[in-house]
Structure 1
């Protein structure tokens, strides 16, 4: 089963927000490669919830996909910060998925900590640790998933 990493700015939507809601729409992705990854996701697959663009970026917890990709309604909503003026009703190029809360990492597994572990063979292909990586949605190998769960002291299942 594939694993994923999905980034969000915590002042916009955090692991705490997802924990409070239990389930939420993951929307606002406006990069075609990241969108294509959303479209590959299947119900039951898990992802690392990554806090980005904040004082301490890092893995904040785990979520699960509960609904596969569907047209992102924020793209066609002129009131949304994610509105895409090119979006025409019925021709929406953007996708969203529904996600559910699984667990919060205590403490957060910081990007700084992850970089100190980058020498591990299991993390060699982790896109997040590559210089210039900016994708908001990316796949995670099974080996990397297991290694990161071990670092976060949570079961990989």
Structure 2
């Protein structure tokens, strides 16, 4: 919404202990989780609670406890399901997606592949920009969120 209602804002100030923000990838992962568990398709707004609970549990190191998320809505556009499925891998920290610019010269692509190493490439797109550089969009399989930052540093 563009503007939070006065009464809603007042109630949030009074009763909320914490507020979390989640990104699109986390929402997509939550939609996928609910679908796999219940065969129900949530709209992104309805999956916010699941994404937030997952983030909260990870942040607080909660394991083996029951947490409850109230979900709602099935107002999902069928054409958006492909986007959700693709982004869920990133949200689950199983894939990292990078946009990299490399010199358009002999050996650049080989050096890039050496940086990726033995990781599985899940998506790849190579576009020549001009005579001096090319843009690479690449998805790489990862084991955890920390590995994503480590890979990004190797591209710098």
Q: Which has the larger radius of gyration?
A: 2
Superposition TM-score, scaled by structure 1 size: 0.24
Superposition TM-score, scaled by structure 2 size: 0.24
Larger relative contact order (CA 8 Å, sep ≥ 6): 1
